[in-house]
A = this chain, B = another copy of it.
């Protein structure tokens, strides 16, 4: 190879779902990568395709299947030299089983990493709340991964899911987030802690853009940050103890 690098890993980010969350994810990846100069950072290729059909609409049977777009993005990343793929969109993980065998690269599974993180905590967490899109909830992604680890999941009731969580997510996607967005998400999160959640998963990459960790009195788990840490660790660039 003509270009020397400290690691041969090239991070591939399959993004655009949404684009603001992709920008936020890359900023997180950069900020947690230890290093004193540009050259200590990881080579990264990002395919940000906001035209990928809405994942929740597809899972609710109301829109086209995004699988062909995801496969196309995976191909672009592989051809660009990526050695691993990260998908900073929770709902898109419902389609990972359809693309995993075809992209030709390992996919670091964001929801699997969250499950691994939660089971590593001490004292042990037994009940976790989830703020996510209707698509992620319907696809049962967190139910499946956390269920395997014996962690009980608390979900918003239908009214909170529709009128608080989804309304807030749409506002962030539309670039119109404001104090109302934060209020909606805070209210939804507090309903979950009132029902025993010892931590709340910000299970849509748009949610941390509208809800800060201080707004809830239990840990707010950011899957994008956990995914970023998993990538840094994998690339062997994680030279400092976290």
Q: Which residues of A contact B (CB under 8 A)?
A: 2-6, 16-20, 22-24, 26-27, 30-31, 33, 35-54, 68-69, 72, 76, 79-81, 170, 173-175
As for how many copies of this chain the complex holds, the number is 2
- Are the CB atoms of B81 and A37 closer together than 8 Å? no
In the bound assembly, the distance between CA atoms of A79 and B78 in angstroms comes to 11
- Are the CB atoms of B16 and A20 closer together than 8 Å? no
- Are the CB atoms of A68 and B26 closer together than 8 Å? no
- Which of B18, B38, B81 touches A17 (beta carbons < 8 Å)? B38
Which residue on chain B has the smallest CB distance to residue A23? B27
- Which of B22, B30, B68 touches A3 (beta carbons < 8 Å)? B68
- Are the CB atoms of A80 and B43 closer together than 8 Å? no
> Nearest chain B CB to A70's CB is how many angstroms away?
11
- Are the CB atoms of A175 and B31 closer together than 8 Å? yes
> Nearest chain B CB to A104's CB is how many angstroms away?
16
A-B contact pairs, 30 of them (CB 8 A): A3-B68, A5-B51, A16-B38, A16-B43, A18-B41, A19-B26, A19-B30, A19-B38, A22-B26, A23-B27, A26-B46, A26-B48, A31-B175, A35-B175, A36-B175, A37-B170, A38-B52, A38-B173, A41-B51, A43-B48, A43-B49, A43-B50, A43-B51, A44-B46, A44-B48, A45-B47, A46-B48, A47-B80, A76-B80, A79-B80
Knowing A18-B38, A80-B80 are in contact, say whether A2-B46 is a contact too (CB < 8 A). no
- Are the CB atoms of B45 and A50 closer together than 8 Å? no
- Are the CB atoms of A40 and B45 closer together than 8 Å? no
- Are the CB atoms of B36 and A174 closer together than 8 Å? yes
